[in-house]
Amino acid sequence: MNINDLTQLIKSRRSIFPAMYNDRAIDRETILTILENGNWAPNHRKTEPWRFKIYQGESLKSLSVYLGEYYKNNTPAEKYSEIKYNKTIGKPLKSACVIALCLYDDPHVNIPLWEQRAALACAVQNMWLTCTSLGIGSYWSSPKSIISASEFLGLSQHEECLGLFYMGYTDIGSLPAKRGPIEDKIEWK
């Protein structure tokens, strides 16, 4: 593997939002490749705690309805915005695929929950980099509506959802980004 190609891929990863997606579908094999790369994330004691609920096609409508109803039912009248409601229900419908990022915390394994969550985050980074390499826009969103969606998602008592991973092809090309110098964030001992 060429380190320059890897570095370029990492530096090219961006949050690409559903409003920027085009209508091109993501086929099942591509989704499985993205998830397979997520499956190779590091994890303590090989627990592989990630679980994924895939919304595509018609099921995106049920996700949209759930998110919209949650917003309506949990937003005080004085804070309610029809614009925000429409954005909320529109995100899944503008996406080719949305993946609920769930975690299974095995009660028989004594591993701190934060380590399991970190493993899921590593899996998502692998997925994100894979999407970037395939020209698929993606981003991780963690609204309270999905964090509270155990019943909607059919989660067990040992599972939790940490967000939604929106995906869709895009025509926007590369986007600029900036990071501060690494020297400002390290201390040699």
Q: Longest C-alpha distance within the chain, in Å?
A: 55
Quick one: DSSP state of residue 146?
H
Residue corresponding to tokens 């759930």: 66
Residue 182 lies in a domain: no
Residue-number span of the structural domain to which 49 is assigned: 16-172
Instruction: Report the candidate in 36, 41, 52 with the shortest Cα–Cα distance to residue 153.
Output: 52
For residue 1, what pLDDT is reported? 85
Residue 32 lies in a domain: yes
Residue 61 lies in a domain: yes
Radius of gyration over alpha carbons of the chain, in Å?
Answer: 18
- Give CA–CA dist 188/156, Å, rounded: 45
Residue 123 lies in a domain: yes
Q: What angle do CA 49, 50, 54 make, to 5 degrees?
A: 155
Residue 10 lies in a domain: no
**CATH number of residue 106's parent domain:** 3.40.109.10
Residue 33 lies in a domain: yes
- The tens-digit pLDDT sequence of the chain (189 residues) is 899 999 999 999 999 999 999 999 999 999 999 999 999 999 999 999 999 999 999 999 999 999 999 999 999 999 999 999 999 999 999 999 999 999 999 999 999 999 999 999 999 999 999 999 999 999 999 999 999 999 999 999 999 999 999 999 999 988 999 999 999 999 999
For residue 145, what pLDDT is reported? 97
Residue 8 lies in a domain: no
Domain count, the chain: 1
Residue 52 lies in a domain: yes
